[in-house]
Amino acid sequence: MSLVLIHAVVSHRYKLYRKAWEYASVGELYIIIKIVSINILLAVPIHFLLGNGLQIRMLLTTWFIYLVCIGGSRFGWRLWRDNVLLKKGAVKRTLIIGAGAAGRMVARQLLNNPKSDLHPIAFIDDDNKKNKLDILGVPVVGGRESIVRTVEELEIEHIVIAIPSLHQKELNQIFLECGKTKVKTQTLPMLEDLMTGKVSVNHFRDVQVEDLLGRAPIELDIDSISETITDRVVLVTGAGGSIGSEICRQVSSFHPSKLVLLGHGENSIYSIEMELKETFKETNIEFVTEIADIQDGKKMSTIMEKHQPYIVYHAAAHKHVPLMERNPEEAVKNNIIGTKNVALAANWNNVHTFVMISSDKAVNPTSVMGSTKRLAEMIIQDLDKKSTTKFIAVRFGNVLGSRGSVIPRFKKQIMVGGPVTVTHPDMIRYFMTIPEASRLVIQAGSLARGGEIFVLDMGEPVKILDLAKNLIKLSGYSVEDIGIEYSGVRPGEKLFEELLNDNEIQEKQIYPKIHIGKTSQLYMNEIDELLQNLDAYGNEDIRETLLQLANRKAMEEHIEKPKVMLTVTG
């Protein structure tokens, strides 16, 4: 009788029966052994006081029976639940990477959500102090080096990375380990959204290639941008494109009085117009669409005169390198003549700032597309010298997810079972997400003094081969499953891109993640001659003339030193 009373008191003290059975674990077993042992130890003096004598065999037998009955029932339920119920496929055995605040929040939500199809089985955490701990009944089984072993031993079916503050290198290391398992890997939404209840466990998202870039969020100078955009008329060319449409979204968040969406494709312009009107329906922004071709100079002037924009973001351009190699005349008409038309219209109508979207392919160009971008830069730099309008260009590299980028093509190839085609195993590119690029373009516009070439910090260059491998793994396949083939470098392509040439390099940043290049020599007479005689040139003549003009300074100086890729760091 004394053992029963002692057990009741001690169990209440340590809240043994308040612990959920399905959370039974190593930590739970330790508590059960501790409570049962305390029971026996307290029973010894009580037996002496009652004059019952000390019966060692009885106490040991009682200790063993208590341990089996209490611990056995709980772990029996846990084993049956984990090995029978969970294996029936109703829920997926889930490994949570990160046992910090975010990881605990994820585990709690999963455990408390009966509708969730994920059930936490274990934590992975690099903090040695947490190793072997039980958190909400879920054990911490080791660091990131244990991911593969844990997935195999515990038959994990799903992985959630729950470390919102993870840096690029750490995420890449964890992702590489997760990629070895062929288990679907997801990551958290923003932590504040989880904490405020905006999203739940059902909003876990797949790890994207963009996550592996791992750059810190871009902090904008809200005041300077507001001064440029808020309550002003803004015009965006190429507004239906991937970059142009994102610029429209970012601009709209600063509440211009009017946003003019100018584009050649009616469907894409209609789509972004409907999206913006729905997203910003509570504002007083006037969204106006103009279907027009930038090659029509008269039309550009009419539109500028009609709307009188304060700032113009010129995003309309042909950007596909191989296509422009085969169609150099069209590249000149759209990228050079079109830019000149929009710029002149802005000048004639006293636009305050003109921002041209350029490319890293304009640096020491080997392609028609890159050459047309460089000559377009020269045109607006020359115009800036004669105008009250501030003309600037903003250069950046490849944009993930944009039309014509490798990501959509890789995804389609993976969907049909491969192979993924990569041009060359050593080809590298600078990458940036669409929102990153658009925000920095808007920020650069607010910093304009006139005539500058702004260069966005693209972070570290990325091997296209590594990008393809990561995308295959993110899709739940192995490289062996899909395969990778090399198609060879296409006409006009370089193995690497640069952001500034030797004559433009100016190391100092004028704003975080934004550099400014020094102005190089302009060749306006030669450019005008090309444009005036374009109809008389054949494709090869156009291509050769473009490359000569765009690279003329380098040729004049007979630069023989090997090209060194410029890595711009933030």
166 and 287, same domain (yes or no)? no
Please say whether the beta carbons of 264 and 316 come within 8 A: yes
DSSP per position, 375-400: HHHHHHHHHHTT-SSEEEEEE--EEE
How many angstroms separate the CA atoms of 444 and 438, rounded? 10
Same domain, 241 and 353: yes
Q: What region, left, alpha or beta, does residue 560 occupy, with left being phi > 0 and alpha being psi -120 to 50 degrees?
A: alpha
Annotation says 361 is catalytic: yes
Helix orientation angle between 26-49 and 56-66, rounded to the nearest 10 degrees: 150
Shared-domain flag, residues 81 and 104: no
Is 170 a domain residue?
Answer: yes
Collapse the DSSP code of 311 into the 3-class scheme (helix H, G, I; strand E, B; otherwise coil) and give the result: strand
Do 368 and 249 share a structural domain? yes
Choose the final residue of a domain: 178, 207, 236.
207
pLDDT at 329: 96
Residues 143, 95 within the same domain: yes
Determine, yes or no, domain membership for 562.
no
Block residue for tokens 């739970």:
28
Give the number of domains in the chain: 3
Does some domain include residue 431?
A: yes
Given 258, 361, 390, 494, the catalytic residue: 361
Verify that 253 and 388 share a domain, yes or no: yes
Distance from C-alpha of 359 to C-alpha of 455, rounded to nearest angstrom: 9
In a domain, 386, yes or no: yes
Statement to judge: residues 70 and 175 lie in one domain? no
The verdict on residue 214 lying in a domain is no
**Domain membership flag for residue 21:** yes
| pLDDT score recorded for residue 300 | 98
Task: Quote the crossing angle between the two packed helices 368-384 and 539-550, to the nearest 10°.
Answer: 50
Q: Would you say residue 565 lies in a domain?
A: no
- Mark which of 85, 119, 140 sits at the end of a domain: 85
Q: Tell me 129's DSSP state.
A: G
Distance between start and end Cα atoms, the chain: 73
Instruction: Please report the pLDDT score of residue 367 as a whole number.
Output: 92
Backbone CA torsion sign across 120, 125, 131, 133: negative
Considering the domain architecture, whether residues 385 and 313 belong to the same structural domain is answered as yes
Domain boundary among 85, 109, 125: 85
Main-chain phi, psi angles of 563, to 5 degrees:
-70, 135
Q: What is the rounded distance in angstroms from the CA atom of residue 125 to the CA atom of residue 409?
A: 36
Q: Tell whether 503 and 436 lie within a shared domain.
A: yes
pLDDT of amino acid 138: 87
Domain that holds residue 203: 91-207
CATH of the domain at 194: 3.40.50.720
Looking at residue 35, its pLDDT comes to 67
Q: How far is CA 466 from CA 119, 405, 477, 481, in A?
A: 32, 15, 15, 16
Low-confidence ranges of the chain (pLDDT < 70): 1-32, 34-36, 39-59, 62-63, 66-90, 168, 189-202, 210-218, 401-405, 458-459, 492-494, 496-511, 518-521, 553-570
Q: Please report the pLDDT score of residue 218 as a whole number.
A: 63
What residue has token string 């808007």? 442
Number of C-beta neighbours around residue 20 at 10 A = 11
Given this model, what pLDDT does residue 512 score? Answer: 72
72 and 110 in a single domain? The answer is no
The rounded distance, in Å, linking the Cα atoms of 148 and 144 is: 9
- Both 144 and 13 in one domain: the answer is no
215 domain residue, yes or no: no
Q: Do 12 and 43 reside in the same domain of the chain?
A: yes
